[in-house]
Structure formats: C-alpha cells, structure tokens
C-alpha cells in the first residue's frame, strides 16, 4: 500500500509541477488498511489561516476513525504559506506515515528542470527526483503537519446520525477537495 501511495503522490507532483502549480498538502486516511480517500487542503491565506487549514485536514481522518494517516506536502510551499522557517531539503515532497503510536517521515527531494515559462512569468517544471534519505522514525514535523497528525486520532463527537458524512459535507463547503474511495463514498 505504501509504495502505491508514494507513487500517487509523485505522479500528482509531476503532473502539477508540469502545469506550473505546487500541489496543496494532501491527507490520505486509512481504516484497517483501507484507503478512505484523498483530501486536499482548501485554498489558504498566508499565516494563521494556512496553519489552521492544514491542521483541519485531520477532521476526515478523525470522523472516519482512521488508524493510519499519510500526509504529503512540499517543504517550501508549507513553510511559505505558514510563515515558518524551511526545515529539511527544499524542494522536497515530504510524506509522513502516522499511527496513534508514532510516525515515520519520508522525504523525496528533487531538483526542478524548467520546461517552459508563461508570458506572466509562471514556470512549468519537471521534478528530477534525487536519492531519498533514510526514513526518519519520529522525524521532526512542521507545526501544522504535526497538528494534523495529532488531531487525526482524536475522535470527533457530533450529535448527528452520520458524523462522517456531515464532516465531509462541511469540509467540502469550506473548500477542501475530497475524493472518497468507493467503500467510504456517501
């Protein structure tokens, strides 16, 4: 499963960077080894809104009762959005596999090969994936990612017959892009 999730993340990065866009942070919650879906963060404003928006990715995982989560983000993009110092390699696709008992940080650094530049100055690039450092058990996570990991395993108490469904609807209304797998689709 892990290799498949890494493959999806790398393919998404390659396609998005080719279009001149860095993908937004992504969460992939799992329940008993089954993928719930893909949740991309909503559009963010720099600063506190970005910190909160990334942490709120945890809502779907918590509502689903996830026992594992995978988060993917780009080092420079999250640092800039959250006004944090850059920690670790940049540019770099980071992925953390977390359970209630801990997490392992995986980093996939890359260099950017310029494909084209638009008249407005936007660059279309292709990632040239570099050798990945060894996975880091308990590796340092930036604050909004650490918050998303922590909140993913905190149960949500909603007085509603379908707490998962209502959480999905509310998050979609807030601008999160959610793609549920067939087993979890409403």
Q: What is the model's pLDDT at position 124?
A: 87
Is the predicted pLDDT of residue 147 greater than 90, yes or no? Answer: yes
Q: What pTM did the predictor assign?
A: 0.91
Q: What is the model's pLDDT at position 25?
A: 96
Output the CA torsion sign for 150, 53, 42, 87: negative
DSSP-assigned letters across all residues of 19-80: TT-PPPPEEEEEETTEE-EEEEPPP--TTHHHHHHHHTTHHHHHHHT-SEEEEEEEHHHHHH
Q: Nearest to residue 41, comparing CAs of 21, 26, 52, 28?
A: 26
Is the predicted pLDDT of residue 158 greater than 80, yes or no? Answer: no
* Mean pLDDT estimate for the chain: 92
Q: Nearest to residue 128, comparing CAs of 14, 11, 6, 4?
A: 14
Question: What pLDDT digit, counting tens, does each position of 19-46 carry?
Answer: 888 889 999 999 999 999 999 999 999 9
List the structure tokens of 84.
């944090």
Which neighbouring-strand residues pair with 127?
A: 112
112 three-class SS: strand
User: Residue 160, exposed/middle/buried by CB under 10 A (0-12, 13-18, 19+)?
Assistant: exposed
Q: What is the model's pLDDT at position 122?
A: 79
Is the predicted pLDDT of residue 159 greater than 90, yes or no? Answer: no
Confidence of residue 88 (pLDDT cuts 50, 70, 90): confident
DSSP label of 185? -
Report d(CA 114, CA 132) in Å as an integer: 21
Question: What pLDDT digit, counting tens, does each position of 163-185 carry?
Answer: 888 999 999 999 999 999 987 87
Contact 28, 34 (CB under 8 A): no
Q: What is the dihedral of CA 18, 47, 86, 145, to 10 degrees?
A: -80
Q: Which long-range contacts (C-beta less than 8 Å, at least 24 apart) are formed by 86-89?
A: 87/140, 87/142, 88/140, 89/133
């Amino acid at each position: 499963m892990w290799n498949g999730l890494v493959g999806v993340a790398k393919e998404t990065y390659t396609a998005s960077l080719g279009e001149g866009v860095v993908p937004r942070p992504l969460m992939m919650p799992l329940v008993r080894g089954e993928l719930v879906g893909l949740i991309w963060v909503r559009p963010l404003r720099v600063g506190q809104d970005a910190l909160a928006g990334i942490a709120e990715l945890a809502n779907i995982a918590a509502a689903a009762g996830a026992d594992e989560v995978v988060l993917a983000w780009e080092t420079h993009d999250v640092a800039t959005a959250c006004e944090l110092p850059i920690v670790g390699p940049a540019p770099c696709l980071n992925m953390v596999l977390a359970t209630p008992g801990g997490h392992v940080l995986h980093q996939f650094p890359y260099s950017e090969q310029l494909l084209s530049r638009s008249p407005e100055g936007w660059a279309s690039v292709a990632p040239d994936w570099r050798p990945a450092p060894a996975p880091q058990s308990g590796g340092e996570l930036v604050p909004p990612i650490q918050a998303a990991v922590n909140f993913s395993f905190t149960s949500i108490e909603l007085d509603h017959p379908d707490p998962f469904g209502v959480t999905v609807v509310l998050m979609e209304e807030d601008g999160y892009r959610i793609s549920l797998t067939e087993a979890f689709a409403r």
